[in-house]
Chain A
Amino acid sequence: MPDSLNSGFTVPLLLRGQVIDEATVEFGGRRGGISFRTPDLSKHLNELTLSAPSRMADLYSISLDEIFDFLAALGKRLHPADNPYLQQSFELSRATSGLSDSILRHHYNGIPSFFERDVVRDIAERLIGIDYLEGWVEQPETIKRNTRLSIRAMGARAVHIIAGNVPVVGVTTVIRNAITRSDAIIKTPSNDPLTTAAVVRTMIDMAPDHPITRHVSVAYWKGGDEQIEQHLYDPRRVEKIIAWGGFAGIKHLTQYLQPGLDLITLDPKHSSTIIGREAFTDEGTLDSVAKRLALDVGVLNQEGCVNARVVYVQSGTDTDGLERANELGKRMFAALQSLPDHLSTPHKAFDPELKAELDALAFVEDEFRLYGGRRNEGAVIVSQSDSAVDFARMLACRVANIVPIDDVDTAVRSVNSYTQTIGIFPESLKTELRDRLAFQGAQRLVSLGGAATLMRTPQPQDGIEPLRRSVKWITDESADGAYLTAMAEQR
């Protein structure tokens, strides 16, 4: 660990184009035994929030094309090789993130691509509609011929409580805020307090007075700080709260909810896998299934909510069936060990509680077969009955549990509203099950292997459309004056 880490990092307050780095308050990071200092946010609360909504006007003095250009120019400055802010945040993330250096580097190198003009334009078009962002869109005539309706998507004043498991969360928050012409106060997480700040700081260097810059702030405060949160979560100052986060954090937020304040939650989720009996058709198929499963478990080092944890396999539960499941487990563990470094590595901070659970499996050998799990290399637990391990909720650090089943119904019934992604093999099974899985609560169905590698096309998230919800949908209805007058005169 470099000395600069030991002496403590400063996480500046980025306030509407201003950099405030007189840091006086100290906090601990979530991992790595490091701490960081920030300015005392309570002294800047009035500048942080936008109490006069009229101050949103400047965002409407520029066109969406200008916003795309602005973001594209920003993206060009976000190459880690020559951006000192990103270099510093990378150093801090190395200590606080659950991702290994090689994976972090891969994600950092990918940051500029998020800002490319076509990519941003595609998001705006697919997730909201450029015409709605840019102006009032007159709706097709309806059966009520005397009225006309126009709709526009308007920005809102929002607090974003972002997750720190992968750096891209903060990056997309900045982009989403810009294209929706919103005003963002971004609360950064203690396990990645600097990445978002690095992006916004670069923006400040580039154009401190640009409306987009003036409408994004980045701050750290400890979740639960009443003085700060009471000020912020007030419908006079903020209209939306967009919260990624743990159950306790979101539950805590709900105490501030009142009419006029909209909470959009991207809750913690668990993802799983359903593999049909076709996986065992022949050697080649089984190998490919094992590799694709290794991707769903291993990519992002299983730090994402998209990653597979419990894996239902229709191998059968008789002796032959268990043997098939064990064979898949063995091959999948081997595939996990061979994943390329930029996608997955042994976990740098293997959870000791999970390790204790894995160690204890040696005492129930009849019930569970364990591949790996000796150090931090990851593991595959193959249940020798159709029950998952009792600690399924703790599965992380590249540890998966294969559960053999006779009938896919067992897997379908395990899905609930806390299930996000389900990787499925073969495709025909996905088509067959997709309506039922959706009823059960699943939110994203992917081809096996795609859980953490797809998401290429902008799409809904966690069963909602967060972008459509983060804007305000304003309507303008017109009617002929004579038609309205006639109503008053009706007898």
Chain B
Amino acid sequence: MSDFVENLKRDPLSFVEAHYNEGFTLRGEERDAIQLAGLRKRFAELRSALPALAKLADDQGIDAINTIDDAAPLLFPHTVYKSYPLSFIEKCQFDKLTKWLSRLTTVDVSGVDTTGIQTIDEWIARVEESTDINLIHTFGTTGKLSFLPRTKTQTRLSARLNAHTIRDFNGYNSGPDVLARHPPLISPSYRHGASAIIRGMNRMAIDYAGGYDNALFLYPDAYFSADVISLAGRLRAAEARGEAGKVSLAPALLARRDEFAARESNRAQDMDRFFEQAANRFGGKDVYLFAVWPILFEWAEEGLKRGMKGIFGPNSVLSSGGGSKGKVLPPDFKETIFEFLGFRRHYEMFGMSELMTNAPRCEHNRFHFSPVLVPYVLDPVTGQPLPRHGHQTGRLALMDLLPDSYWGGLVSGDEVTMGGFDDTCPCGRTGPYIEANVRRFSEAQGGDDKINCAGAPEAHDKAMEFLVGRI
């Protein structure tokens, strides 16, 4: 036990290969010691290397972290990873976008040759070819994407940690070890793209399934385009302002219209092929499946309609999350999904693209943060951290201690109620947890600035229609 604590104090990344469940047996002072040591370590390593962090620390007059709360003013606003001006993209100034990125990562991106780049997709690919970064982009209703400079190594570690979450969350070795058993991987989504989920799925296809031959994607050839999802956001924003039709399209994007159109026309065949292969190649096998609830439900309904049920083996694993926002699901939607899938074992996660590890939900409907995530609840008005005891409701902020090349501290747009500082969840796990009533702050004010995981494919489809239909 104390080795576990000492190792975590020395290096938060030691958690990746540890017994995941031990993260929820810590006493308060042990957890505080680990988190304080982690905050200090990352601050010491990254302050001088990241101009963005140095500036924030200078502005706040922070030279040392002596308590966990001391780091609260150093958490980046959620706008940081989209703080570049949109004009960089509109005017194809990808050299400037790269320079902007360089302030947020210790990875040297000065060698990225941006010559001739006209689209975000091209830029993401170019960064990936010439550096250790495989960028992750998010989705936003304004059309402005956040770009997170995660390294290829970090993506791999993140997938390993997810595997250990499955193996150990309910007790060491209580679940299947997907890294050892190499179950087939099933993804009712895109194979190619740079969203956090798609990046993760690609890594898992190799590390869990043992290769793409043992993986099944709904759209094995289609690319979940950053340019298209950005267009989707701009369309939504324009619609909300009554200015739809005024959105202008970049020539480079228009040039790819035929390519997009061809992919769109394959949709129905893709669905047929997906069901056919799920049943014939992987039917009865224990698989690893990763998808958000609304997409799973859609898939299950379609499958049941086709007379398919109980298709996978009883020891399969489902990872899910993403809420159901924007879609109204019937109260028994999970039963429909399980009937179709043929198994019930599932892990529901609270996560964000910005985090390398998620918070799994326990049987008491609470999401538990492992010790490498330092959670804060901030006063929604003043931004000050609320006391770390009792139950607190406010804005969620998190410091992810795992990344060592970018700053893991981020203020979210989510309103949460957090407990577990000094009480223990009835499930027996110690440490901070949040209740399931998470909601976006902007939702409380009648709008939402974020397309969440559940809504993203739909937004992508809608933008695609707009693009393809535009002469």
Contact = CB atoms under 8 A, between A and B. Distances in A.
Interface of A: 247-248, 251, 349, 352-353, 355-357, 359-365, 367-368, 385, 387, 389-391, 393, 418
24 contacts: A352-B383, A355-B77, A355-B383, A356-B411, A359-B80, A360-B77, A360-B79, A360-B80, A360-B82, A361-B83, A362-B52, A362-B55, A362-B56, A363-B80, A363-B100, A363-B103, A364-B100, A367-B85, A368-B85, A389-B85, A390-B85, A390-B144, A393-B241, A418-B243
Given A356-B411, A357-B79, A362 B87 contact: no
Contacts of A355: 77, 383
B104 A363 contact: yes
B83 A363 contact: yes
A390 B449 contact: no
A140 to B, nearest CB: 42
B241 A247 contact: yes
Given A357-B77, A363-B103, 6 more contacts: A352-B380, A353-B442, A356-B79, A363-B83, A363-B100, A364-B84
B87 A360 contact: no
Contact of A356 (B55, B78, B144): B78
Contact of B77 (A356, A367, A368, A390): A356
Contacts of B83: 360-361, 363-364
Interface in B367-383: 380-381, 383
A422 to B, nearest CB: 19
Interface in B240-260: 240-243
Q: Which of A248, A349, A363, A365 has the most CB of B within 10 A?
A: A363
A274 B80 CA distance: 30
B interface, size bucket: 20 to 34
A397 to B, nearest CB: 13
Contacts of A363: 52, 55, 80, 83, 100, 103-104
A390 B86 contact: yes
B180 to A, nearest CB: 42
Contact of B449 (A247, A353, A368, A387): A353
B142 interface: yes
Main secondary structure on B side of the interface with A: loop
Q: Which of A359, A361, A367 has the most CB of B within 10 A?
A: A359
B85 A387 contact: yes
A363 B105 CA distance: 12
B59 interface: yes
Interface string B26-61: 000000000000000000000000001001100100
A172 B85 CA distance: 42
A364 B80 CA distance: 9
A389 B52 CA distance: 19
Interface string B219-243: 0000000000000000000001111
Nearest to A386: B87
Nearest to A361: B83
A481 B183 CA distance: 98
A356 B383 CA distance: 10
Contact of A352 (B84, B142, B243, B381): B381
Q: Which of B103, B380, B395 has the most CB of A within 10 A?
A: B103
A362 B77 CA distance: 11
Contacts of B103: 363
A393 B100 CA distance: 23
Given A352-B380, A353-B442, A385 B87 contact: yes
Nearest to A384: B85
A96 to B, nearest CB: 14
Contacts of B86: 390
A363 B86 CA distance: 14
Nearest to B85: A367
A368 B87 CA distance: 13
A434 to B, nearest CB: 24
A363 B407 CA distance: 13
Nearest to A363: B83
A360 B240 CA distance: 24
Interface string B83-94: 111110000000
Interface in B63-121: 77-80, 82-87, 100, 103-104
Nearest to A391: B142
A268 to B, nearest CB: 9
Contacts of B441: 352-353
B172 to A, nearest CB: 40
B80 to A, nearest CB: 5
A410 to B, nearest CB: 13
A367 B83 CA distance: 10
